[in-house]
C-alpha cells in the first residue's frame, strides 16, 4: 500500500526510529482501523455487538443501504477478521470475532 522509495532502504537498515517491525505493526493497525473507517461498518459492528450473538440479513433492514452494498461492507469486515459469518440454512449468521475485537482494542489502548 505504501510505495517505498529506493533511498529509504538506507534508513531502515541503519536502525531508524521506525524499524521494520513497526512497519508491520502500522499496517496491522491501519487494516483494523480501516475496517471501522466508514459509518456503515461502524453501525454494523455496533449492531452485532448489541445482539450478543449473530444476525443474518436483518442488518440490511436496519441500514439505509441497498442489500448489495451491505454485503460489500460485510465482506470487508470479514476480510479484516472483525466479523465472522457462518451459513445457517438458507441464510447467513454474522457475529463479532471477539479475538479480533480484543486485538483492535488492545492496539488502540496501547497507543
Partner DNA sequence: CGATCGTATCGTATATCGACGATAAACAGT
Partner DNA sequence: ACTGTTTATCGTCGATATACGATACGATCG
The binding track of 46-85 with respect to DNA, each residue x by CB under 7 A or -, is ----------xx--x----xxxxx-xxxxxx--------x
CA distance 44 to 50: 10
- Identity of the residue, 39 or 87, whose beta carbon is nearer to a second copy in the bound complex: 39
Which residues 6+ apart lie within 8 Å of 86 measured at CB? 54, 92, 93, 95
SS3 51: coil
- Identity of the residue, 80 or 104, whose beta carbon is nearer to DNA in the bound complex: 80
Beta strands in the chain (DSSP E): 83-88, 91-96
- Of 11, 22, 91, 106, the one binding DNA (CB under 7 A) is 91
Q: Is 53 in the site for a second copy (CB under 8 A)?
A: no
Residues of this chain, 56-95, that bind a second copy according to CB under 8 A: 61-66
The interface partner of residue 60, options being a second copy, DNA, none and the CB cut-off 5 to 8 Å by kind, is: DNA
Residue recorded with cell 461492507: 73
Amino acid at each position: 500500500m505504501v510505495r517505498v522509495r529506493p533511498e529509504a532502504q538506507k534508513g531502515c537498515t541503519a536502525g531508524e526510529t521506525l524499524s521494520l517491525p513497526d512497519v508491520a505493526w502500522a499496517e496491522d493497525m491501519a487494516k483494523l482501523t480501516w475496517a471501522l473507517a466508514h459509518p456503515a461498518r461502524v453501525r454494523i459492528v455496533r449492531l452485532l455487538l448489541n445482539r450478543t450473538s449473530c444476525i443474518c440479513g436483518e442488518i440490511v433492514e436496519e441500514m439505509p443501504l441497498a442489500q448489495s452494498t451491505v454485503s460489500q461492507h460485510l465482506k470487508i469486515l470479514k476480510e479484516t477478521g472483525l466479523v465472522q459469518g457462518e451459513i445457517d440454512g438458507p441464510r447467513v449468521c454474522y457475529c463479532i470475532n471477539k479475538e479480533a475485537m480484543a486485538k483492535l482494542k488492545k492496539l488502540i489502548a496501547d497507543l
